[in-house]
Amino acid sequence: MSHEFPDRPPIYHDAWRVAIVASEYNSTYVDGLVKFASDELSLLLPESNFATLRVPGSFEIPLGTKVAIETLDVHAVLAFGLLFDGETLHAELIAGAVTKALLDLSLAHRVPVLHEVLVCKTQDQAKERCLMPAINRGTEAAVDVVEADRRIARARDAPANPSCPAVDMIAGLR
């Protein structure tokens, strides 16, 4: 487990539309992710609008994400859920399906989707990641989504502006 967090980006004063799609299952923990993310987004994007869509469980998060992208015209989506890794393959199967679906939605719609559907082995792990500030994955997702959207916007501007630093970033990928 990494205890490193990305640096907090500067405050962004443009109005963004951000959706948080969150599972109702394991709500004590998921609510912690939503609260920490919402607090961080309010700090980083003070002029922005945030919508929270609740879905029954982690398996429904991709559908909620698709609805948010297609109906709310969002700049980004934060996806929050918590699965406990038990004795069967259930959590692993759900986590794999959700991961692939969220990636596919992000790529198809060219919208950052921050995946924080966590799989924890113990309640202590869940508490540390969802309810405590030190390594809260909700805070991390909020910081990451702002930075991801900025970098993607720079990359989109690159073809029109050859002096844009994103051109170097894109050239390095070839």
Task: Give the chain's domains with CATH numbers.
Answer: 17-172 (3.40.50.960)
Quote the pTM value.
0.82
Examine the pLDDT at 8 and tell me if it is beyond 80.
Answer: no
- 115 catalytic? Reply is no
Please state the φ and ψ torsions of residue 49, each to the nearest 5 degrees: -110, 140
Q: Given 13, 90, 109, 115, which residue is catalytic?
A: 90
> What is the percentage of the chain residues whose pLDDT exceeds 70?
82
At 44, the amino acid letter reads: L
pLDDT band at 160 (very low <50, low <70, confident <90, very high): low
Q: What is the pLDDT of residues 72-116, one digit of tens each?
A: 999 899 999 999 998 888 889 999 999 999 999 999 999 999 999
pLDDT band at 3 (very low <50, low <70, confident <90, very high): low
